[in-house]
A and B are shown apart, each in its own frame.
Chain A
Amino acid sequence: DAGVIQSPRHEVTEMGQEVTLRCKPISGHDYLFWYRQTMMRGLELLIYFNNNVPIDDSGMPEDRFSAKMPNASFSTLKIQPSEPRDSAVYFCASSFIQGQNEQFFGPGTRLTVL
């Protein structure tokens, strides 16, 4: 298996623009997680899905952030409009056994908002 795939790997955009980050989880995994990594706060969970249904979005910072999972093999995280403080590395992770706890992470998308 190729592991969790994220695209793009790097994104540079200007303030006010819409940004869409993409994730393909490991086949067969039924949990998908979106995280944001910053120096100050480390890895923060933004939202997670189970069987394509959002379970907990309490970590989503503002209404500017939205996430979807239209099918088991694809998820998006959208920021509209983007702001400089959104600059961070965004990770997608997936897991397949409830309670097993080990999550498999993608390589991340480094977002820079100018």
Chain B
Amino acid sequence: DQQVKQNSPSLSVQEGRISILNCDYTNSMFDYFLWYKKYPAEGPTFLISISSIKDKNEDGRFTVFLNKSAKHLSLHIVPSQPGDSAVYFCAATLTYTGTASKLTFGTGTRLQVTL
């Protein structure tokens, strides 16, 4: 049972435009969400995160939006750059358990930014 879903396996966006990557989750207990970026032949690297007490978090060109009622989050990249071409993973976790952060990942979305 996939608790974190990224229904778009791929996305193509023109350079300079906005990229919007979507993620849905089913476990309403998740209270912290992260986005990771992965280049070929490398491990994922942390990009941005958001706590469930917020509905938006911004870091430069990257903004994550959280809609708890819809159990949906999105990552906006604006403007998109060719170097943003990568696979993006959404992840979710429960932080109140007092134990280590066990992340549940989605299947990823491959973003291609074209010139």
A/B pair count, beta carbons within 8 Å? 69
Binds A, one of B11-19, B57-65, B75-83, B97-105: B97-105
Q: Measured between alpha carbons, how far is A98 from B2 in the docked complex, in Å?
A: 25
Q: Is A12 an interface residue (CB 8 A)?
A: no
- Whether B49 contacts A102 by the Cβ 8 Å rule is yes
Contact status A98-B105, CB under 8 Å = no
Interface pair B43/A101, CB less than 8 Å apart: no
Q: Which of A42, A50, A55, A91 contacts B106 (CB 8 A)?
A: A42
Assembly CA distance A35 to B32 (angstroms): 19
Report whether B95 and A101 are in contact in the complex, using a CB–CB cutoff of 8 Å: yes
Shortest C-beta distance, A92 to chain B (Å), equals 8
User: Is the Cβ of A108 less than 8 Å from the Cβ of B105?
Assistant: no
Query: Residues on B close to A: CB < 8 A?
Result: 2, 6, 32, 34, 36, 41-46, 49, 89, 91, 93, 95, 98-108
